[in-house]
Amino acid sequence: MAVADPYRQVSPGFNADSAYAFVERQVNFGPRIPGSAAHKACGDYLAAKLAGFGAQVTEQKVDITHYDGKNLPIRNIIGSYHPEREKRVLLFAHWDTRPFADEESDAGRQLQPIAGADDGASGVGVLLEIARNLQQHPVEVGIDIIYFDLEDWGQPSFDTDWVQGDWWCLGSQYWSEQPHVENYKATYGILLDMVGAANATFLKEGYSIQHASNVVEKVWGTAAKLGYANYFPPKSGGYITDDHLPVNRHHRAPSINIINLKTDSQTGFAPHWHTHRDDMHNIDRHSLRVAGQTVMEVIYTELGE
């Protein structure tokens, strides 16, 4: 009986050790809380890395007033490859980290900021490794990598005075309204959020299916061809308010979220989510590879116009 030919990977190999080092480097700055010295230093590092990997770097800096009356800086960091190309793919992640650990059982530690190895640094690290590859092996389409700021300062669950407003995803809200290029559009977008934990399960997130079902099918189909169906199971997860939502609502690009979702947890996320366990102990090289290689295979098989 004839055996089907195995799928032949088109993209260069994603280096999981390199991605891991990019995650660790961010965590070593300390919590990347907007307005802090660590945030500033890490932002400088990320902008310099993108430039070093051959991207044209643009930054958006603006101050906003938050729910608590605090003035906070937003710093979106954008790395573009072939900005003149019409056909583009947008890859994004958030680089800020949550200033609280409101899912921590020890109430005394809820006010301390988390390390954000998975929640923040993992997606950013994977995209830096992709940027490193893009410099060495160009793709046919234009690519924009955006590191959004201020995703994760939503009002904490321990707050009793609820302030009406959309307090999550402030960096992506700002960019979606005021993109770095007038009338910016991409063919599609891929968000990576919490892609670093061992045995991650990237369920098909609700808004992704709603706004970009063809992209969901493309990405999950590519993962299956690469042998990663355990990480990208053909199952739906819940609806997550995340950076892809403003991007979709403002029609900048039909965008999906690759995010570790759990059906057997109270929160819908992995147990370390918004706790002090979200540190480097949680980061698994293979999960970084699964997410990174899948996204790379998608963009390296994308034809130009």
Interface with Zn ion by CB under 5 A: which residues? 98, 119, 152
The token pair that represents 226 in the structure block: 């690469």
Q: Determine if 193 is a binding residue for ligand AHN (CB under 6 A).
A: yes
CA distance 221 to 240: 22
Instruction: Tell me how far, at minimum, the Cβ of 278 lies from Zn ion, in Å.
Output: 8
193 binds, among ligand AHN, Zn ion, none (CB under 5 to 8 A by kind): ligand AHN
Task: Outline where the chain has alpha helix (H).
Answer: 16-28, 37-52, 123-136, 170-177, 206-225, 244-249, 285-300
- Nearer to ligand AHN by C-beta: 104 or 119? 119
Pick the stretch among 37-45, 63-71, 100-108, 234-242 that binds ligand AHN (CB under 6 A): 234-242
CA distance 148 to 60: 10
Per CB under 6 A, does 284 bind ligand AHN? no
User: Dihedrals φ, ψ of 217, to 5°?
Assistant: -65, -40
Angle ∠(96,124,240) on CA atoms, nearest 5: 70
The reply on whether position 241 binds ligand AHN by CB under 6 A is: yes
- Interface with ligand AHN, residue 152, by CB under 6 A: yes
Nearest residue to 139 (alpha-carbon basis) of 148, 147, 130: 130
The verdict on 240 binding ligand AHN (CB under 6 A) reads yes
Structure-token match 């009002």, residue found: 155
Give the one entry of Zn ion, ligand AHN, none that residue 288 binds, where binding means its C-beta sits below a cut-off of 5 to 8 angstroms depending on kind: none
Joined tokens for residue 12:
């260069």
Residue closest to ligand AHN, measured at CB: 241
149 binds, among Zn ion, ligand AHN, none (CB under 5 to 8 A by kind): none
- The site for ligand AHN (CB under 6 A) is made up of 119, 152, 154, 168, 193, 240-242
